[in-house]
């Protein structure tokens, strides 16, 4: 795996070909993917196929973080204007949409991002052969139950999918593997087989998400370790400085004491 760092303006937007934009602090090339670091410390990131990125632009300070992409689109292909503004819609910040939904249903946004990556590859209008739709690939029946009238509305889709994932986690006592298997194959199949169904697609799906999620957590651990090392080094330097000052003042104290005696 080859990682090449690229310069990036603070608060930059990666505008995708599907009309989505992802706000990030910096980016790096990882093979055929572009890694977008959505946190300032680099602990949280999203991997997007480089070929799916239309262009990069500086994020406006007053960027609208709401999703209204393709509500009335018929062909599912909306081309950006030369200015980077998409017709009939505000810029959508995926990281913000995921952050808000994750906070609402008390889930790790990295987990939600990993599910979106496995489900749709961040394609707003993705449709599976079985009819699942949108970023988190909601089946029409499931979307209806979750109160999502338009599965191609990015914000509504992520909200519904995140809520459904939370419900599955609660159903299986927060067993992530079972919850992911149920998200892919349905709760009935998980109950039928007492766990992950013996389907290659489902097992590969679960493994893919767990691997991607763990990769993010490992990166966060390394980032935290680096910060701790910096703090420890500063602490050690401060201690050495204090000892040096104490050593310099000690002889004067001794002399003063000797004179008083």
C-alpha 167/C-alpha 175 separation (Å) is 12
CATH number for the domain harbouring residue 90 = 1.10.530.10
Tens of each residue's pLDDT in the chain, 261 residues = 545 555 554 578 888 877 677 888 888 998 888 988 887 777 778 888 888 888 888 876 544 333 333 333 333 333 332 333 333 344 568 889 999 999 999 999 999 999 999 999 988 888 998 899 999 999 999 999 999 999 999 999 999 999 999 999 999 999 999 999 999 999 999 999 999 999 999 999 999 999 999 999 998 887 666 555 544 555 555 555 554 454 444 444 333 333 333
The answer to whether residue 247 sits within a structural domain is: no
The answer to whether residue 18 sits within a structural domain is: yes
The answer to whether residue 61 sits within a structural domain is: yes
Domain count, the chain: 1
The answer to whether residue 136 sits within a structural domain is: yes
Is 119 a known active-site residue? yes
The residue annotated as part of the active site, out of 25, 54, 119, 170, is 119
The answer to whether residue 241 sits within a structural domain is: no
So what's the pLDDT on residue 166?
Answer: 98
So what's the pLDDT on residue 255?
Answer: 33
The answer to whether residue 242 sits within a structural domain is: no
The answer to whether residue 244 sits within a structural domain is: no
The answer to whether residue 251 sits within a structural domain is: no
Range of the domain at 11: 3-71+81-231
């Amino acid at each position: 795996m080859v990682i090449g760092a690229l310069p990036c303006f603070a608060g930059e937007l990666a505008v995708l070909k599907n009309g989505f934009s992802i706000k990030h602090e910096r980016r790096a090339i990882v093979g055929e993917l572009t890694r977008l670091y959505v946190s300032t410390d680099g602990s949280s990131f999203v991997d997007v196929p480089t070929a799916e990125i239309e262009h990069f632009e500086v994020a406006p300070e007053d960027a609208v973080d709401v999703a209204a992409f393709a509500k009335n689109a018929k062909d599912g292909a909306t081309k950006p204007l030369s200015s980077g503004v998409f017709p009939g819609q505000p810029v959508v910040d995926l990281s913000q949409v995921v952050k808000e939904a994750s906070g609402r249903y008390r889930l790790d946004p990295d987990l939600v991002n990993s599910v979106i990556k496995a489900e749709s590859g961040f394609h707003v209008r993705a449709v599976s052969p079985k009819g699942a739709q949108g970023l988190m690939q909601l089946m029409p029946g499931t979307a209806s139950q979750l109160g999502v009238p338009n599965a191609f509305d990015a914000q509504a889709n992520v909200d519904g999918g995140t809520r459904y994932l939370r419900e599955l986690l609660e159903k299986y006592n927060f067993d992530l593997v079972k919850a992911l298997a149920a998200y892919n194959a349905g709760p009935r199949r998980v109950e039928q087989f007492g766990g992950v169904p013996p389907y290659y697609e489902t097992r590969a799906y679960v493994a893919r998400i767990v691997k991607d999620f763990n990769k993010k957590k490992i990166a966060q651990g390394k980032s935290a370790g680096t910060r701790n090392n910096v703090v420890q080094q500063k602490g050690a330097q401060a201690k050495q400085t204090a000892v040096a000052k104490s050593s310099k003042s000690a002889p004067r104290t001794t002399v003063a004491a000797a004179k008083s005696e």
